[in-house]
Structure 1
Amino acid sequence: MRQSTRSRIYCLVLLLASCFTVFAQAQSSKKETRQYINLNANWSFAKDPGRQATAGNWGNLKWATVNVPHTWNAFDVMDDEPGYYRGIGWYKKKLSFKPEWKNKKLALYFEGANQETAVYLNGKKIGSHIGGYTAFTVPLTNLKFNGTDEIAVKVDNAYNESIAPLTADFTFFGGLYRKVSLLVADAVHFQDDQYATKGVYIHANKVSASGAEVIINGNLSNATAVQKKLNLVSTLLDANGKKIAVTQTTVVANAKQDLSFALPAISVKNPNLWSPEKPYLYKAMTSIVDAKTGQTIDEVTTNVGLRFFSFDANTGFSLNGKAVKLIGASRHQDFAGMGNAVPSSLQVKDVELLKSMGGNFLRVAHYPQDQAVLDACDRLGILTSVEIPIVNEITETEAFTRNCKNMQVEMIKQNYNHPSIIIWAYMNEVLLRMKFNNDQPRKQQYLENIATLAQQLEDLTRATDPTRYTMMSNHGDVNGYTKAGLVKIPMIVGWNLYQGWYGGKSEDFGPNLDKIHQQIPDKPIIITEYGADVDPRIHAFTPIRFDKSLEYGMLYHQIYIGAIMSRSFVAGAAAWNLSDFNSETRDETMPHVNNKGLLTLARQPKNTYYLYKAHFNQQPFLKIGDGSWTIRGGVAPANSSTLTQLLQVISNTDSVTLFVNGKSLGTQAVKDRLSNWEVPFKNGINEIRAVAMYQGKKLEDRTSIRFVLQPDVFAQQHLAFKAINICLGSQRQFIDFQQKEIWLPSQAYKPGSWGSIGGEPFKIKNSGRQAYGSDKNIRGTFNDPVYQTQLVGLDGYQLDVPKGKYEVVLHFAELMGNGIQSVLPYNLDSLIEASKSANKEVPEQRIFDVYLNDKLIIKNLNLASTYGIANSVQKKFECMVADDKGIRLTFKSVKGKPVLNALQVKRID
């Protein structure tokens, strides 16, 4: 069953993840002026579902030892029970404070805790934070330590109408899910405890190919009891460590005084400009020096990238004076089996995968993420936008507004020094969950309040950082956002567009872009989301919208890439998403996972990833497609020992030569980065080899595909029948990777062969979502697509197998009734057809008998009453075929229409 299988998989993933755990160590600058002491290991953790415990008064909490990063939602978001734990979790840990730290600046540094946090020392509250995606510090000032001190941290991810996000198509994992450190610094130090930064802010000004200015300012604190005369010195080094320039000033800090400072600008002649092709980083070493003793008291090292950029409504994006199309993806931070508690090394790997794909743009969505991500973007040359999590809707309260503003400033301050960031954003699809639709005056007031909040965030952002652009991302209701005045507010408008997925046709995407540009001609445009679900287990030779097949995803992305690249007014585009991510409320073919990623949740590339790599990576590239489709199947034509099926080779070369089982199929030209081959597959293992030449260099890729060739007529002597797995009412193949089995779509019966007799494919009524089947979460299985299609009202199923002993497994699930959705939880385009309400139809009661070779094997089967809606049911039987009539399944209605979802037949003698 799904739960036990998933648990084993996730435990293995977590065991591997533990290899990334970083044990306690001090990290400091070379002069040991400040230390960040790792506190990640050996926390005690307990849930507090009754919300009864207080620091030091724990009641009956059950404690376990965990390491940070940690989330309590790594597993419950993937089980069959609706919902996941949203409440309080407690963490506690003993700390040992050294005597020499008595006069030091001490602070706890939390990189991320979702979403309300309170911190206690020896039972006394010493700090708190609101918001789940930005860092915060808790000073340990004027506190008495007793040698057995205990830190306790209360984290709460329960719904709170004052904290964004309120709702979203992703999971709000709870916990101390990023690293925790103890900062030890001198009593005189750079400081910005309010926004959890190091207190030094650097940006470039007046940048050109011939020169640039480096501007350095910040905050410092003199926590001593005496006045201090201080020299502030910043040294700019090139990438090789060579000194470029030094700037300094002298300040006098009174006792117990915090003050701001600004250093004279550093002038850089003929700078090495930062770009995706050459992400050149200077380094600024900014120090506090005691003017009396000459001792360096504190030092902060900052990477500096010099670049200039602009956006234009007609010509798009320009970097360092050259037109650049921003191409990349959005990113969520969770990982298979880990939730959002992901080690930095894996997060950096995401950026490396984006770079390898040929991407130059990352939309950090829908919230600020680990600093390691942006450090990697700086180092690898990935331009970024970062946003706060105002998603779908707002709360019209002062508290909500205040928290959003604070999140925005925290985001900007904490990420200010990253040269990769070019955009700050603050709202995503904020009209999607529209309120007060039945009260137009109240709805208008709500829209005005959204616009007021947007304008306040816009003004705050520009005042805090005038060096970067601002952006909002909207879903496809162009008229709605225009009427609400929201397209006028940001400097850039992002559009999340899904023509060909949530409705319409993929070919509508380009013309729709043209309409948007005509309607809003004065605003630069970025396509901040577009995508189609790709379940790597599903394949279709006649792909259609919402079949979740890899083949439909390839067609979709090919069309979108062409439309984006051919329109100069489109500044850039971010595919949704870099990888699959958890969304607990989703059902679909892989429940609780949004499958629009170019990578899987475990970061395995899909064909769509390779398509982008062929389009945008400038290095020679060749890849046999369908890398996950290593098990295929099909029905052999009469008297044939092979079956021809499509295979794609993805490449940026001019042509490809393909070899199948040692025989050349010739050479084909590559068109739009693809060459399509009709490959004759034999039963068993097929060795595939692709070869191409690129500027005199030979490229080669290989794969092995196990093909299960089924007889069209069982009397074909060259194909001995062994087993078959059939999905009824389906038009797609499904791979069960755990059992290494292929499931084929059914067919109508013809004499000598196999197939259904009567019946129609199940389809949800009044749904524009998919042409057949459901995507309801089927409980009790991981192979949901096996049960999400069925034939309704069938009379029988016939397999004209030869004489012998067989195992027959019937698979059922009731797909109609309460709980079956006919509309998407997230309808992202009001311009396309969509149902307005869920299908609440309760079907006529369904009771039927099943006969196997005229023997009654199931009597009065009532799936809904016996097993409930959307539960997997398996019935296994054995039978002996002693005549020429094969296997005959007969369905007799007692009441309503019989159904069958899937069928397995295996010869066992």
Structure 2
Amino acid sequence: MRNNCLYFTLLITLIILTSVARAQERISLSANSDWQFYKGKLSYPALLTQQISWEKVQIPHSWNTTDVNDDVPGYYRGSGWYKKHLVIPANWKNRKVFLSFEGANQTTVIFVNGKKAGTHIGGYTGFNVDVSPFLRFDQNGKNEITIQVDNRYNANIPPLSADFTFFGGLYRDVYLTVAGKTHFNIDKYGGKGVFITTPLVSDEKASVSIKGDINNAAENVTELIVTATLKYKNRVIAEQKKQLKSDGLTHFELNFEEINNPKLWSPTEPNLYQLITTIRNAKTGELLDQVSNPLGFRWFKFDAAKGFFLNGKPLKLIGASRHQDYKNLGNAVGDEIAIKDVRLLKEMGGNFLRVAHYPQDPAVLAACDQLGLLAAVEIPVVNAITETEAFANNSKNMQREMIRQNYNHPSVIIWAYMNEVLLRPPFANDSTRREVYFKNVFKLAQELENLTREEDPNRYTMIPNHGNFALYNRIGLTKIPMLVGWNLYQGWYTGKYTGFATFLDMHHRLLPDKPLLVTEYGADADSRIHSEQPLRFDKSVEYAVQYHEFYLKAMLERPFVAAAMAWNLADFNSEERVETDPHINNKGLLTIDRKPKDTYLFYQANLLTVPFIKIGLTGRTVLGGVADGNNEFRQQIKVYSNQKTVSLAVNGVPIGKQTTSMGIANFTVTLLPGSNTLIATTGHGKQDQVEVVARLIPKILNSETLPFSDVNISLGDTRYFLAQPAQELWIPEQAYTKGSWGYVGGTRFSMTDTSRLSFGSNKNILGTALDPVYQTQRIGMDAFIFDVPDGEYELTLHFAELVSSEPQKALAYDLGAKTTVNEQFKERNFDVAINGKTMIANLGNKNELKAAEAHSYKVKVTATHNSGIKINFKPILDEAIINGIQLKKIY
């Protein structure tokens, strides 16, 4: 195996040799390979001599990639240790060497060769640590780099709580940055030390202002020349030089007064210029430092009545928010996934990205610049604050780091802070103390606002609020920022989605001078769950499509709504969440592994300008249910298109043409058992083809033309659930009719509070991946009958007690629920008999049926004498329950 230290030395030597002619030009070299990791509490420097079992890892890395998705509540929040050996060439002795971190969550301490070199607070902004004083510049010597990262709760560091997982680790790239002793100031706040603005931009001309600071620690360099060179497609457009005296920290300013006929930057034409800024020794001409930044010429404004304008033209901002995690990777996703996400948003037709709820990988905004997406960025002050000076200082430091590190991106038009900060304010039983808290929230908001306008007077500021208009308006959080964002979920967490339009009109009426952005809206869409009668909170994709259709239409109809930011681009980890897909917030337009849902297709049909058509069966390779008398199955199909009319053919047979409304055409198709081919076409010849398998259960189980093979039934349910990865289709229950199958007696289970979910439970059912099946149930059922032909069968019965004797705590996002709920727990026992023989005795919630735990029994059953299979439930104490039934014919 290649020796990593030697390999690293060779790489550095190669870079040095190839850059001799460029003298002191800055070097940036990734240092992601061959780290060693330990999760747990250690002390430094004692760990250097201890016998510790280190794990070899690569950066990006998180220690929470698995424990956030298991059935054990909580996940590891504590210390993780990383170490690595570096051989630093002697050539670097007279230079500045920094360890540059793009992100480490959330407190970081850096040790070099036994000495503490630096610290950083905050998990989502980058930082540079000058390690030069601690290094050994010896070709034969090793430098030991040891890093402690800690993601435990800290009341003085935001975020305190949030609907996302706080993954720990060195989860973004780590670099060695080598600069001359005279360099653009990167020592503080993690920026490049050069800040670019465009004071004047029009179609005819533009101006450019370049400012920054130079850190000069070289004793023999006192006269400098700073040069700014503007290029477009490698052609020099303008150049400006300035000579200045330098000793210590020196400020500089350069200006291009007039750039004629600038190529404007916009989502349709993201024209990017390159601005190269250099420092040279005025006496020798030696290059001391050089940085490159993107530059985009654009001008923009928000208008409270007319929305958003870019380059003098109205533009409705439509897009989504993004979290930075990915399936099985946590937040250690790397540049390629960050760039892919921006591309997916662009391919959806979006023109706006809300980088939420924290600054993300530098690759995100770089991709926005290149692809043409406008962006808002914010710091992670989420849900609440701590009323301490330390919390306020950390928040302000994060805001300053965010701005300075992302200042030069033309895509960024908004700096934000304080997301839903009044979601569940403390001191509910002390109104006087609560008012003090509100005043402290206001004070911190004003301080962040003042800091932001001082750091960057050219962009807008925003606070995103949840839907309690009266509270935010009374406290003053609608007055401080330049823009107000609303996170609105009428028709999901509260009320009906028709209330969304009412809220928008209320804001415009009561705050006519304050521009409005809808910064969040969405409904859970578990891509495995479908319904032909969608209901609020059933997690079906169909309900989510209805929801988004209403919301988008309402926003498009109102010019004063400047922006629509769907929540969220992709599903993301939220460890405290339960429901059908535990630990995942599945409001995403894409799944957590970035597969499109129908909601993503809906936006493509409404936003793309090139001809588009797609059959709404994303992720569904299996359809089916109970066949009709002709052994066929009728299925509702949506086709998404930006064309006025679309046609659909099934198995080569045209079934007609439909007109689209909000990009959707609805068809009812007839499917035959086995493989079916669906082809949708537009008048332009654009088409989409989908192959699906129809699994049909005969209406009469002893049918000779459609023999019975198997069925999976979710009791108490009206939805279809396609379990992964086996593509096992679960269908809704039905009442028994002679010759068929179904339940006899009983009622659907529902929670005490049905204000959101009208059936079933939203609990995480432990010990299973079939949560949707176990979360619904029929109670008090007398029997379940299958009128199957004689033969051998395998019967599986699924049980889960959905009521607990322990108080249940509501999560912060569940605004419609009480903080804690005492459920109506009753002790139950019952027997289960199959074809007259008791097979399960005294089953109850004081023995096998633990609350919210999956329990199943599998049994072989013989059907004889044309009597089928009958399952009887015999209550002993209270009522019997059952959640799911599977029956499979063996022969």
TM-score, normalised on structure 2?
0.96
State which of 198, 202, 213 in structure 2 corresponds to 1:204.
Answer: 198
Cα 1:340–1:90 shift into 2, 3 Å: same
Q: Which residue of 2 aligns with 1:709?
A: 696
Q: Which residue of 2 aligns with 1:521?
A: 512
Match of 2:789, SS state, is coil
Q: Which residue of 2 aligns with 1:6?
A: none
Q: Which residue of 2 aligns with 1:3?
A: none
**1:388 and 1:425 in contact (8 A); partners too:** yes
Cα 1:149–1:841 shift into 2, 3 Å: same
1:365 and 1:586 mapped to 2: Cα distance? 18
Cα 1:53–1:298 shift into 2, 3 Å: closer
**1:492 and 1:525 in contact (8 A); partners too:** yes
Q: Which amino acid aligns with 2:62?
A: T
Q: Which amino acid aligns with 2:779?
A: V
Match of 1:142, SS state, is helix
1:680 aligns with 2:667: no
- TM superposition shift of 1:217: 1.0
- TM superposition shift of 1:818: 4.1
**What are the equivalent positions in structure 2 for 1:435-454 lying under 5 Å apart?**
435-454=426-445
Q: Which residue of 1 aligns with 2:179?
A: 185
1:671 aligns with 2:661: yes
Q: Which amino acid aligns with 2:201?
A: V
**2:207 and 2:255 in contact (8 A); partners too:** no
State which of 651, 654, 675 in structure 2 corresponds to 1:661.
Answer: 651
Q: Which residue of 2 aligns with 1:253?
A: 246
Q: Which amino acid aligns with 1:309?
A: F
1:865 aligns with 2:847: yes
- TM superposition shift of 1:189: 1.3
2:364 and 2:323 mapped to 1: Cα distance? 11
- TM superposition shift of 1:525: 0.4
Cα 1:55–1:330 shift into 2, 3 Å: farther
Q: Which residue of 1 aligns with 2:30?
A: 38
Q: Which residue of 2 aligns with 1:195?
A: 189
**What are the equivalent positions in structure 2 for 1:401-800 lying under 5 Å apart?**
401-638=392-629, 640-694=630-684, 698-800=685-787
Q: Which residue of 1 aligns with 2:340?
A: 349
- TM superposition shift of 1:824: 5.1
The answer to which of 226-235 and 484-493 deviates more is 226-235
Q: Which residue of 2 aligns with 1:321?
A: 312
- TM superposition shift of 1:296: 1.9
2:360 and 2:288 mapped to 1: Cα distance? 31
2:405 and 2:115 mapped to 1: Cα distance? 28
- TM superposition shift of 1:823: 5.0
**1:762 and 1:792 in contact (8 A); partners too:** yes
**Between the two proteins, what is the percent identity of the paired residues?**
49
1:191 and 1:731 mapped to 2: Cα distance? 62
**1:473 and 1:493 in contact (8 A); partners too:** yes
1:86 aligns with 2:77: yes
Q: Which residue of 2 aligns with 1:905?
A: 887
**What are the equivalent positions in structure 2 for 1:254-403 lying under 5 Å apart?**
254=247, 257-403=248-394
1:47 aligns with 2:39: yes
Match of 1:263, SS state, is strand
Match of 1:215, SS state, is strand
The answer to which of 525-534 and 685-694 deviates more is 685-694
2:69 and 2:732 mapped to 1: Cα distance? 27
Cα 1:266–1:105 shift into 2, 3 Å: farther
1:402 and 1:284 mapped to 2: Cα distance? 33
Cα 1:649–1:58 shift into 2, 3 Å: farther
Cα 1:561–1:277 shift into 2, 3 Å: same
Q: Deviations over 1:283-330 (max 9, x none)?
A: 111111111122222111111001110111111111110111000000
- TM superposition shift of 1:144: 4.6
Cα 1:740–1:642 shift into 2, 3 Å: same
- TM superposition shift of 1:227: 3.9
Q: Which residue of 2 aligns with 1:214?
A: 208
1:661 and 1:863 mapped to 2: Cα distance? 50
Q: Which amino acid aligns with 2:787?
A: D
Match of 1:106, SS state, is strand
2:438 and 2:50 mapped to 1: Cα distance? 46
TM-score, normalised on structure 1?
0.94
- TM superposition shift of 1:199: 1.0
Q: Deviations over 1:251-283 (max 9, x none)?
A: 1112xx122211133421121111111111111
Match of 2:831, SS state, is strand
1:430 and 1:748 mapped to 2: Cα distance? 48
Q: Which residue of 1 aligns with 2:126?
A: 135
2:192 and 2:426 mapped to 1: Cα distance? 41
Q: Deviations over 1:378-422 (max 9, x none)?
A: 001100000000000000000000000000000000000000000
2:603 and 2:742 mapped to 1: Cα distance? 40
1:656 and 1:839 mapped to 2: Cα distance? 49
- TM superposition shift of 1:669: 1.7
Name stretches of at least 5 consecutive residues in structure 1 with no aligned partner. Answer: 1-22, 829-833
Match of 2:683, SS state, is strand
1:142 and 1:788 mapped to 2: Cα distance? 60
**1:357 and 1:609 in contact (8 A); partners too:** yes
Q: Which amino acid aligns with 1:176?
A: L
1:669 and 1:840 mapped to 2: Cα distance? 50
Q: Which amino acid aligns with 2:236?
A: K
1:889 and 1:467 mapped to 2: Cα distance? 72
1:820 and 1:302 mapped to 2: Cα distance? 55
- TM superposition shift of 1:51: 5.1
**2:424 and 2:812 in contact (8 A); partners too:** no
Q: Deviations over 1:478-535 (max 9, x none)?
A: 0010111111000000000001111211222112211121122221000000000000
Q: Deviations over 1:73-93 (max 9, x none)?
A: 011000000000000000000
1:58 and 1:177 mapped to 2: Cα distance? 27
2:688 and 2:160 mapped to 1: Cα distance? 47
**What are the equivalent positions in structure 2 for 1:234-249 lying under 5 Å apart?**
234-238=228-232, 240-249=233-242
- TM superposition shift of 1:61: 4.1
**1:765 and 1:822 in contact (8 A); partners too:** no
Match of 1:451, SS state, is helix
Q: Which amino acid aligns with 1:812?
A: F
2:777 and 2:698 mapped to 1: Cα distance? 23
Q: Deviations over 1:703-739 (max 9, x none)?
A: 1111111111123321100000000000100001212
2:130 and 2:588 mapped to 1: Cα distance? 40
Q: Which amino acid aligns with 1:722?
A: S
Q: Which residue of 2 aligns with 1:16?
A: none
**What are the equivalent positions in structure 2 for 1:223-238 lying under 5 Å apart?**
223-238=217-232
**2:319 and 2:351 in contact (8 A); partners too:** yes
Q: Deviations over 1:161-211 (max 9, x none)?
A: 000000000000000000001111122211231111221111111111121
Q: Deviations over 1:121-173 (max 9, x none)?
A: 01210100000000011102333516121000000000000000000000000
- TM superposition shift of 1:617: 1.1
* CA RMSD across the alignment: 1.6
2:876 and 2:301 mapped to 1: Cα distance? 71
Q: Which amino acid aligns with 1:201?
A: F
**2:799 and 2:849 in contact (8 A); partners too:** no
Cα 1:721–1:53 shift into 2, 3 Å: farther
Match of 2:682, SS state, is strand
Match of 2:259, SS state, is strand
Q: Deviations over 1:570-626 (max 9, x none)?
A: 001100000000000000100000000000000001010010011001111010112
**1:776 and 1:820 in contact (8 A); partners too:** no
Q: Which amino acid aligns with 1:250?
A: Q
Aligned pairs, number: 874
